[in-house]
Amino acid sequence: MASGIPSLLFCLLLAAPHLGSSYHTNGGKHFVVRSSDSRSPSTCSPVPGDGGRLPVMHRLSPCAPASGAGAGSGQSMPSISDALRLRALFGDSGDYKKSGVTIPSIGTPLQSLPGASEYHVTVGYGTPVQRLAVGFDTATVGATLLRCEPCAGSRCGKKHLFDPSRSSSLAQIPCGSRNCPLSDCSGPSCTATLKKKGAVVLNATFVTDTLTVSRSVAVDDFRFVCLETRGASTEGRSSGVLDLSRDPHSLASRVVLSPDTVAFSYCLPSAFPYSAGFLSFGATRPNIVSYATLKSKASHPNLYFLRLVGVSVGAVDIPVPPQALAGDALMELHTTFTYLQPKVYAALRDQFRGWMGQYPVAPPYGELDTCYNFTGQSSVGVPAVELTFEGGAGLEPGVQQTMYFKDRGNIFSVGCLAFAPVPPHARGITVIGSLAQATTEVVYDLRGGKVGFVTKSCL
């Protein structure tokens, strides 16, 4: 590559407008002490995207590459989108089938995908590279999606579109070839169309091109779906979704590994206050003491499951017998909260409430039924919640990952335990949501069949 990747400036909002606080942990409890109530000015400063690590931004961060003005518009209640996502993953996807186009593997409607991602990275497609901000997903997509030219209509957001005609390395996949997963394409290319009221509103074409992730990682002949739409969705700030699932065509599967490297790892940034997380591919295996064993589920072969074997609150195991507690746990990036088996959730909640008796109770927030009003407190102590997985690894979220604060970033407000019972259609599954994972590096050692956690990797 002649020019290399132009180095974009990524922004990190160093000091978000939140109350100054200090943190410490003692006797199974995380403490947050109010240290100042002066509001710091918000500033963005560049974070270098070094060879290995791509900066990851939360969708709502004003510094996110895909953000732009009005990023706050997506502030809806997370449990509503969680419910939709869990239905897409585990429910009956009848609605989607009716609409005509589904991506192979698990049925997610094409039209609902790009732009919906919580976390974004910027990668380069084609030759010369066209840099575009995209979301990433470890579940459900089954294909990498990218919004492409041509876009029929006026509100297309051209600078967020990939232009296949400007790439010298792009190749069409012929309909009927082994690389084309569509059984119903017609014509020369591997294209599916979505029609509404007789008119084509979306063309989805499987193509291959070079994907440049960083200076050190580029994947040739990477398969993805070019989406041509009529008009743009209003969420057009993100150009697509990178597939990190276990599908053989996913980026996770295409990373070249050596015995001492891992496929990928991410650290989801805290959204409030804003921080910069990272996503890396083919990095050297970190020094982690215990890993969780990666499980496969025949019903969902592309998803990453671990086996939950323990839950503790304040360093004491919840009173649920091991056989009632243990179960498949999905690592999920597009579900905000963590969903447990109803009995396990009830035991966790009861223990948690036992530790929180000194704080005034606040009304439930959606499905979150354990809320407290910390307004006016000078310090807040929250018991440490830890989830342990087969293999020995434990995930221990911090205060702002254990509780969800409506006034995000402000602990001295109303906060709710960010766990809930899993909905009936996903019975039997535990879903480890993005909030619980945030600020912890999650390492996917796919060659070793294991997942590791490194706490406080991106604060």
Ligand X SMILES: *[C@@H]1O[C@H](CO)[C@@H](O)[C@H](O)[C@H]1NC(C)=O
Kindly list the residues in this chain that would bind ligand X in the complex (CB under 6 A).
152, 200-203, 228-230, 362, 373, 375-376, 414
Q: In terms of CB distance, is 373 or 379 closer to ligand X?
A: 373
Helix (H, G, I), strand (E, B) or coil at 79: helix
CB of 19 to ligand X, least distance (A): 15
Q: Concatenate the DSSP letters of all residues of 359-397 into one string.
A: SPEE--BTTB--EEE-TT-SEEEEE-EEEEETTS-EE--
CB of 371 to ligand X, least distance (A): 8
Task: State the Cα–Cα distance between residues 146 and 136, nearest whole angstrom.
Answer: 11
* Tokens matching residue 243: 């597939």
Task: State the Cα–Cα distance between residues 41 and 118, nearest whole angstrom.
Answer: 25
Task: State the Cα–Cα distance between residues 361 and 347, nearest whole angstrom.
Answer: 18
Q: In terms of CB distance, is 219 or 362 closer to ligand X?
A: 362
Q: In terms of CB distance, is 149 or 328 closer to ligand X?
A: 149
CB of 105 to ligand X, least distance (A): 24
Helix (H, G, I), strand (E, B) or coil at 425: helix
Q: In terms of CB distance, is 229 or 250 closer to ligand X?
A: 229
Q: How far is CA 245 from CA 130, 137, 144, 161, 297, in A?
A: 23, 7, 10, 23, 13
Q: In terms of CB distance, is 330 or 371 closer to ligand X?
A: 371
Q: In terms of CB distance, is 99 or 373 closer to ligand X?
A: 373
CB of 414 to ligand X, least distance (A): 5
For the stretch 282-286, contacts whose Cβ atoms lie closer than 8 Å and that sit 24 or more positions apart, written own/partner, are 282/52, 282/216, 282/217, 282/255, 282/256, 282/257, 283/52, 283/53, 284/260, 285/260, 285/261, 285/443, 285/445, 285/448, 286/262, 286/441, 286/443, 286/452, 286/454
Q: In terms of CB distance, is 229 or 265 closer to ligand X?
A: 229
Contact 339, 358 (CB under 8 A): no
Q: What's the angle, vertex CA 304, arms to CA 283 and CA 400, rounded to 5?
A: 80
Q: Please name which of 61, 17, 13 lies closest in space to residue 37, comparing C-alpha atoms.
A: 17
Task: State the Cα–Cα distance between residues 210 and 206, nearest whole angstrom.
Answer: 14
CB of 130 to ligand X, least distance (A): 19
CB of 375 to ligand X, least distance (A): 4
CB of 358 to ligand X, least distance (A): 14
Q: In terms of CB distance, is 145 or 443 closer to ligand X?
A: 145
CB of 379 to ligand X, least distance (A): 16
Q: In terms of CB distance, is 54 or 371 closer to ligand X?
A: 371
CB of 26 to ligand X, least distance (A): 26
Task: State the Cα–Cα distance between residues 117 and 158, nearest whole angstrom.
Answer: 19
Torsion-angle region of residue 289: left (phi > 0), alpha (psi -120 to 50) or beta? alpha
Contact 97, 108 (CB under 8 A): no
Contact 89, 100 (CB under 8 A): no
> Tell me, what DSSP letter sits at residue 81?
H
Q: Is the peptide bond before 364 cis (omega within 30 degrees of 0)?
A: no
Measured in residues, the chain has a length of: 459
Q: In terms of CB distance, is 100 or 421 closer to ligand X?
A: 100
* Tokens matching residue 57: 């931004």
Q: Please name which of 81, 84, 111, 70 lies closest in space to residue 237, comparing C-alpha atoms.
A: 70
CB of 72 to ligand X, least distance (A): 21
CB of 354 to ligand X, least distance (A): 21
Q: In terms of CB distance, is 228 or 243 closer to ligand X?
A: 228
